Structure 1
């Protein structure tokens, strides 16, 4: 390796030592351990620490032998490393490049008579690993993930009704409880529930499986008196329910929400559904569930939405340092990643970031990504107030670009009459079909035409796929919560709504 290559290397992967410290070898051996436990790196002996002047080593052969001896006696298991002489600034002296490769026998320890210590690389420093980092290294060494570990729960303690129903709906295949729970990793052959099972069971027994959603006034937390317009905490439920509830919260608190039109969604919305789904799914399946007392946070502001999940990138990289077109697809929780892929909640090909970015192709403001050792943050701009790109910026001619319904000042719901108003369906079937089935159930005998129209609009927003509660219905109809409860009860009695659990409702799928 040339001097220029070394000087241009990131400090995360590089340490300098003026000489070989033999009295306190931990001063450099901790970096050997840290590099082996993270992404590898180089220690250059014969370089001044402050000025980075390559002055060389006096006895190259003896120093190299000592380095190997210390590593063999003080680092366990033996890491992979090479020793290479490189030029110094003096023709009669050489420096030594100690290159340490990462893994694969994690974790690596520095050992002496007093301790066995695990070190990790944090930026340009080699520091003792946190308990969570130690656990992750142990799992990595066993080739296991957190969601595969068995828990104290047994199969009779939990149920998987929602998972089975969702699997049937999304794949068209029956979910065989006795077979699939074991083969997919939710239960061990001894009927012990794994962490993945706790995350996907109806009860949601893993305490840190939680989403906290808040709609803030203004553009910063605490910037306005009474700054929280709405907030919800979703917990004690399957990841499938948490995902659905978080999506419903975002849709409800968007001035221009996405709407479901037959088999497609209108994307002229503040936050595009595909981007929201992608970010939420990644926050749920790639977060670090070992961090106790942590949860996913969704914070909505006037101009943006921030989604924060516990745990950085699994390989220790920082997303802001990477080319977003070439971010490696790595799974922290393989079992729940696999089931979300089967349910078509995520793309198994690792193209999620590109789908997020493509939803903002026509806007100046773009999504941003940030990560460190403890968090992963995605910021989605509010497209309702974002700056549209000019035809030249977007690569489209004025004739190609046209105007969206939002730009023209009319939403899809405002610009179209309901089937009850006109007797004809602009959507050629979907709304008429819903009204027809509702009338077969007797809805026109218990509600006025105006109420049925509003319920239809509410249905087109949620369909039978997303949950809602009485407060969401009350806000939409601009009525009291008690009145909304009465409407829900009447709808349940005729079979067009159903209760999933206390306070959580769905429209009945009548197809």
Structure 2
């Protein structure tokens, strides 16, 4: 028998596509993993479940394959049960490929199930439980919930992406026509003879990459604007998307313990928020002058391009189904930008930190409009732009962090500003602050203290004349 599956190669690769089950204590675990491979959330193409073998490490720490095998009776029992449950309890049903391989014991065999990825979102139902979706995360099989479930359904086409869905509570009257006209003009597609009305009907697309701004309900024919249209062009976006606003805060110290702080709540369309945030962030990009540095006397606290790109990324790629606002916080030594929602599927925290990010859109239509309106870089260039502009400006590299509820980008100030806080004598250019002007005064005082005191003027009055005359008389 010529085996199509090389277990040694599977063990050597240590891939997320392989699940090892030496004794097969629970057949349902096998079916759950096969369902996860079929769902293929990570776009790996499917995977293998190997029954009767396991991975170990040898004395030197290298991978070692233990081929225990299953008895003939147990092998047939596992095979029949798995195939039956894949047919009866998985929806849509699965039919994994099966292969038997030799083990170290000639009386036993290894059973391998091969499940390719499919185009459907499959569920598996245990005997006393409801149907659940399962996915692979790293080398584990878990139930898909919340964000993972939404990502799975969107990937499989069972659920339309959020930005493309119709906003069922809004009508075409909730679109601001002046904002729409301004956006069309900035994109170079507006003409007076055509106006804006043709863009508010079902099926009219501004690009093959994005859907129409509005869609008609199947039964009533009522036009409903899509979520991205409400967010970009709506009269009152927060009435329909409660979490679609931003908060900018500024603290004079290194944390939030300062008694005095500035807080600005920014509602409105996403375009309004981007413009206001850009103004507030640009005010943080002050310039510090150091005359002792002949090569680069001017240092910007934060490069404006990095601030803009990080801000637009936070707005474009956040999860708008969450009610949490986007948060943009300025401290003395850094700016933190927090975008609600986890990382998109296919993007890892390691990708962000190394700059090797594969282009992934959570809100493709939204990001397309921001790019056409020249608020964002082309697809996949945002993170690289932030990293390169921070490096070119002499700032520390950005710091990225991600959890299940948010993604954070931290932009740290130019080192010269932290040195200035420790007492270096410098003058600040651009948007000057009182603290900067104070740093120049000690220098002037020092110059005065090192100069010689001015001589007192000689007295030339009447008394002086009389004294000199008396002295003259005595000498005579």
Provide TM-score, normalisation by structure 2: 0.68
Q: Equivalent residue for 2:439?
A: none
CA shift in 2, pair 1:181/1:332, >3 Å: farther
Contact 1:80 1:102 in 2 (8 A): no
Decide whether the 8 Å contact of 1:107 with 1:138 is kept in 2.
no
Pick from 319, 326, 329: which aligns with 1:296? 326
Match of 1:342 among 359, 372, 375: 372
Match of 1:16 in 2: 20
Q: Is the alpha carbon distance of 1:176 and 1:66 closer, same or farther for their aligned partners in structure 2, counting shifts above 3 Å?
A: farther
Name the residue aligned to 2:248.
213
1:411-469 per-residue CA deviation (whole Å, 9 max, x = no partner) reads 3688xxxxxxxxxxxxxxxxxxxxxxxxxxxxxxxxxxxxxxxxxxxxxxxxxxxxxxx
Cross-structure match for 1:177? 196
Please tell me whether residue 367 in structure 1 is matched to residue 367 in structure 2.
no
1:40-59 map, 5 Å: 40-47=46-53, 54-59=66-71
For residues 147 and 116 of structure 2, the distance between their equivalents in structure 1, rounded to whole angstroms, comes to: 22
* Contact 2:344 2:362 (8 Å CA) reproduced: yes
Distance 1:342 1:364 in 2: 29
Say whether 1:203 aligns with 2:236: yes
Equivalent residue, structure 1, for 2:335? 305
| Alpha carbons of structure 1 residues 2 and 199: separation in structure 2 relative to 1, 3 Å | same
1:209, distance to aligned residue in structure 2 (A) = 0.6
Tell me how far 1:36 sits from its aligned partner.
3.4
Q: Confirm or deny: 8 A CA contact 2:328 2:336 kept in the other structure.
A: yes
Q: Is the 8 A contact 2:337 2:409 kept in 1?
A: yes
Separation in structure 1 between the aligned mates of residue 174 and residue 285 of structure 2, nearest angstrom: 38
Post-superposition shift, 1:241? 0.7
The answer as to whether partners of 2:351 and 2:357 remain within 8 angstroms in 1 is no
Structure 1's 212 and 79: CA in aligned 2 closer, same or farther, altered over 3 A?
A: farther
Distance 1:153 1:327, change over 3 A: same
Residue 27 of structure 1: aligned partner: 29
Output the CA distance in 1 between the equivalents of 2:102 and 2:417: 54
2:48–2:113 Cα contact (<8 Å) kept: yes
Structure 1 residues without counterparts, runs of 5 or longer: 258-266, 389-406, 415-511
User: Kindly tell me: are residues 41 and 219 of structure 1, through their superposed partners in 2, closer, same or farther at Cα, counting changes over 3 Å?
Assistant: farther
Are 1:165 and 2:169 matched, yes or no? Answer: no
Q: Could you say what secondary structure the match of 2:249 adopts?
A: strand
Give the alignment partner of residue 149 of structure 1, picking from 155, 160, 165: 165
Which SS does the other structure have where 1:169 is aligned? helix
SS in 2 for 1:152: coil
Residues 104, 283 of structure 1: CA spacing in aligned structure 2 closer, same or farther, 3 A cutoff?
farther
Asked if 2 retains the 8 angstrom alpha-carbon contact of 1:18 and 1:49, the reply is: no
Aligned length: 380
Kept in 1: contact 2:10–2:18 (CA 8 A) = no
Separation of aligned partners in 1, 2:262 and 2:48 = 51
RMSD, aligned α-carbons: 3.7
**CA separation in 2, counterparts of 1:323 and 1:90?**
47
**Mapped contact 2:287–2:431 kept (Cα < 8 A):** no
Match of 1:234 in 2: 266
Q: TM-score, normalised by structure 1?
A: 0.64
Matches of 1:210 and 1:117 in 2, distance apart? 34
Aligned to 1:192: 224
Report if the CA contact (8 A) 1:75-1:111 is conserved. Answer: no
8 Å CA contact retained: 1:33, 1:110: no
Residue aligned with 1:214, SS: strand
Structure 2: gaps of 5 or more residues: 1-5, 58-63, 206-211, 217-221, 289-297, 420-424, 433-476
